Structure 1
Amino acid sequence: MNLSEDRNESGWQNAVIIIPALLSGVTLIVVAIIFWKLICKKKSKKQRLRDETDADCAVNAGGVYENSLDPSDPVLEKKQLPGHWTVEHKVVLCSGHFGPISRGVLCCPGETEDGRHVVLKELSEHCSPGEVQDFIDIMKFYVQVCNHDSLIKMLWCQTTRRPPSLIMKAMSCGNLLTCLRSSREGVQALEGAVPRITEKDVYSMALQVAGGLEYLSGTHDLLHGYVAACNVLLHDDLSVQLCGLGLAAVQYRTGSFPARKAAQVPLKWQSPERLKGADITEKSDVWSFGILLYEMVTLGSPPYPDLEPSQVPSKLKRKYRMERPALCGHRLYEVMTNCWQWEAPLRPCFTDVVKQLQNASDQADGQRPVTGADALSWGEYMRVAGIPS
């Protein structure tokens, strides 16, 4: 082999090595450029979102709701608080999802009668535009849906004055769960003695709640989603109204039940199908109504008092059910167990629940007060009930 041939062979070998190396290098450079562009694009998007959020905060910090509020909305116009009426003597009760919740007195200048006690829910100036719209939608929900005596009602709303607010009737005894536990022997409510509750009173309150739930499901095809004593309000004449209607309001607005929010309901009030992540129906509320009956007839004892919340699903699957409370009649307990049928189709609808309660109420004890067996503190109650503190 001569010198020229050696050089040609050497050049060919070098080309075989160099060309793939160059191609690999070019490929790496192209990939690096693509990644760099993607990163820049993502950073730009994040910055834009920050700018939009900052702009929203700047608007809401001044309490400006003009982009979301329509004072001439025909649904709310007829419920606007008259301009010369005011809510006086406000006392903040708690901080709600949208802003402060207060108790006060609705006053109309020139009237000689004492003002009406009301609950005022106000919209915080720091709410986002989306939350403002949700607040308005809830007002509309109260106007269009809550037209049953057993559902909490909105008396008036304010969208022409700041802050936007809705005004509701105040029930003299407040939350039913608190009243049940306060009615135990030797315990007084904040505003005086809570009425002693008999089994006949339990039937009366249960019929009112069942009637409200029958109206929600039958007239509007809506679910409550958290039927429990903590979501019932009590008046001193033992009339009750169902509250905690946030899940129903979302379903009314969107057409679908908010499964993620519904999953936040404590396990001990959830039906088996909810625990399994299946669809929620009227029969799911019926199951929870049976738990409410247990709460009422035991004066606010936590459901499944001998079980930790995490034990409930597996025990229910093995056909475990709570025993009949000491002062609970057999017919009332039969209504409970009908509500606790494992298969949802086997449970009664609320129309049937109302009929069962009406048929059994004549034999209820109207003399002897029901009692609660446990002596749990509120903190211990929350733990046993599985309610986040």
Structure 2
Amino acid sequence: MEKIEKCSLSSNNSHHNEMQEAMISIPSLLCGSTLVIVAFILSKTCKVMMKKTSSVQAPSANILTEKPLPTKDLSITEWEIPTECSVQDLEYLQSGRYGPTCMAQVVQADLSVPVIVKALRDQTSETEVGEFLEWIKFHIQICRHENLMKMLYCQTEHAPMFLVLEASVPGNLLHFLWEFRKKDIDYQDYPMNFTEKTVYSVARQVASGLEYLTNVQKLIHGDVAARNVVIGDNWRARICGLSTAFDIKRNGSLPSPGTSIIPWKWLAPERMMRLSVTEKSDVWSFGILLYEMMTLGSPPYPDLQPTEVLSNLLGGYRMKRPEHCGGALYDIMKHCWMWDPLDRPSYSGLIKQMDSYVYCAGTNRLSSKKPLDLHEYSLIADVICCTPRQNITDNGVRL
């Protein structure tokens, strides 16, 4: 019995000891695992907090990069007007797409040069300022041909911002043509005769400039007309009015018809119908330019309203041969007005044709029996005619 009791006591004691060990080890395990879990959670939390901290710091660096301090554009800096030059005697011409366009003089020491100034209007947005800078860069890149109006200077590093283009005397071709329609014209002011042979000379230069735009710059002008040609000494002709070409370069396409301000009567039929446009669309307009020169600035399709032009062209209508226009030059016009753009000549082809036909061009001074009425011209051509020059001080613009 004692042995049995001892055995039972010893077994009870061992069982009791095991229970005590278990009671001690289980909390220890629980405590250890809890510490591991807490450590794991803390490590994760630290990592998350570190990420959050880094993500909070990053935008402050981004803010600095999004709004950098103004820096000079090296492609423009070399064109900045020299400090020793001043722009004087400004005369307002018209309102341009970014602000006033003016005649002026760039004066340096005792030398004064006539120029055209295109200024950026006051109170413009950052977007407009950026576009104006692109407009300046466009002139720097594109106007590298003798028959395109060249840029001389610009001012971009402080207000007012503007670009300076070379000017010509007598200047705008359309206004020059109108002067020759006056009965009381003083030919001492215009010693050069404007003849059919002169038309060939001017037209050849315009075709050369357009060929450069097409073949070298891969652009179309988009607004070929007498109003966008300037004349200088010895009938030197240069193309201006590059706003549409600028839009094409920036956007990759022509402006939508709703935003275009190009008069209807100068457009090729495919542009009227909003079809594909190529350089051959400018060739059609080049034919209209020839008509303008031979008629001393008459509006195209003088017997038609702008809304009637397309329907008549669809029926095969073409303008009649102008008075004093030779058959060869009229053939060139009709060639430009072929309905299918592929049937129209290239600029190089036009140059060859004019070189071949110029020998038979008339040399008598061109004239027009019909006086010019600017109001009537505006209605027929659907063009707002330029008003006489006004002094720049009347328009509140200062440079």
The structure-2 alpha-carbon separation of the partners of 1:68 and 1:141, relative to structure 1 and needing over 3 Å to count, comes to: farther
Give how far 1:71 is off: 5.6
The structure-2 alpha-carbon separation of the partners of 1:72 and 1:224, relative to structure 1 and needing over 3 Å to count, comes to: same
Give how far 1:251 is off: 1.5
Is 1:97 the counterpart of 2:97? The answer is yes
Pairwise CA RMSD of aligned residues?
2.2
For residues 118 and 69 of structure 1, the distance between their equivalents in structure 2, rounded to whole angstroms, comes to 33
Aligned partner of 2:115 in structure 1 is 118
Q: How does 1:171-250 map to 2 (within 5 A)?
A: 171-188=168-185, 192-193=189-190, 195-250=192-247
Give how far 1:194 is off: 6.9
Aligned partner of 2:298 in structure 1 is 301
Amino acid at match of 1:340: W
Q: How does 1:348-359 map to 2 (within 5 A)?
A: 348-359=345-356
Give how far 1:102 is off: 2.0
Greater RCO structure (CA 8 Å; 6+ sep) = 2
For residues 147 and 331 of structure 1, the distance between their equivalents in structure 2, rounded to whole angstroms, comes to 32
Give how far 1:365 is off: 1.7
Is 1:379 the counterpart of 2:383? The answer is no
Is this contact kept in 2: 1:225–1:262, CA < 8 A?
no
Give how far 1:193 is off: 3.4
Give how far 1:185 is off: 4.5
Amino acid at match of 1:98: Y
Aligned partner of 2:77 in structure 1 is 77
Unaligned runs of 5+ in 1: 1-66
For residues 285 and 189 of structure 1, the distance between their equivalents in structure 2, rounded to whole angstroms, comes to 35
Is this contact kept in 2: 1:214–1:351, CA < 8 A?
yes
Q: How does 1:95-174 map to 2 (within 5 A)?
A: 95-109=95-109, 112=110, 114-174=111-171
For residues 68 and 206 of structure 1, the distance between their equivalents in structure 2, rounded to whole angstroms, comes to 48
The structure-2 alpha-carbon separation of the partners of 1:283 and 1:262, relative to structure 1 and needing over 3 Å to count, comes to: farther
Q: How does 1:42-57 map to 2 (within 5 A)?
A: none
Is this contact kept in 1: 2:181–2:371, CA < 8 A?
no
Query: Which of the pair has more CA radius of gyration?
Result: 2
Q: How does 1:328-343 map to 2 (within 5 A)?
A: 328-343=325-340
The structure-2 alpha-carbon separation of the partners of 1:73 and 1:290, relative to structure 1 and needing over 3 Å to count, comes to: same
What is the number of equivalent residue pairs in this alignment? 319
Is 1:285 the counterpart of 2:297? The answer is no
Aligned partner of 1:313 in structure 2 is 310
Is this contact kept in 2: 1:180–1:300, CA < 8 A?
yes
Give how far 1:353 is off: 1.2
Give how far 1:338 is off: 0.3
Give how far 1:263 is off: 4.2
For residues 186 and 130 of structure 1, the distance between their equivalents in structure 2, rounded to whole angstroms, comes to 49
Is this contact kept in 1: 2:222–2:244, CA < 8 A?
yes
For residues 229 and 190 of structure 1, the distance between their equivalents in structure 2, rounded to whole angstroms, comes to 21
Give how far 1:388 is off: 4.6
The structure-2 alpha-carbon separation of the partners of 1:187 and 1:226, relative to structure 1 and needing over 3 Å to count, comes to: farther
Is this contact kept in 1: 2:181–2:372, CA < 8 A?
no
Unaligned runs of 5+ in 2: 1-66, 386-399
For residues 265 and 189 of structure 1, the distance between their equivalents in structure 2, rounded to whole angstroms, comes to 33
Q: Secondary structure at the match of 1:223?
A: coil
* Deviation string, structure 1 residues 57-91 (Cα, Å, up to 9, x no partner): xxxxxxxxxx8996621221221111221112222
Give how far 1:373 is off: 4.6
Give how far 1:267 is off: 1.4
Is this contact kept in 2: 1:117–1:169, CA < 8 A?
yes
For residues 367 and 333 of structure 2, the distance between their equivalents in structure 1, rounded to whole angstroms, comes to 18
Give how far 1:229 is off: 0.6
* Deviation string, structure 1 residues 126-158 (Cα, Å, up to 9, x no partner): 222222111111100111111011111110111
Amino acid at match of 2:370: D
Q: Secondary structure at the match of 2:115?
A: strand
Give how far 1:108 is off: 1.7
Is this contact kept in 2: 1:299–1:370, CA < 8 A?
yes
Q: Secondary structure at the match of 1:184?
A: coil
- TM-score normalised by the chain length of structure 2: 0.76
Q: Return 343-352 or 368-377, whichever deviates more.
A: 368-377
For residues 70 and 373 of structure 1, the distance between their equivalents in structure 2, rounded to whole angstroms, comes to 59
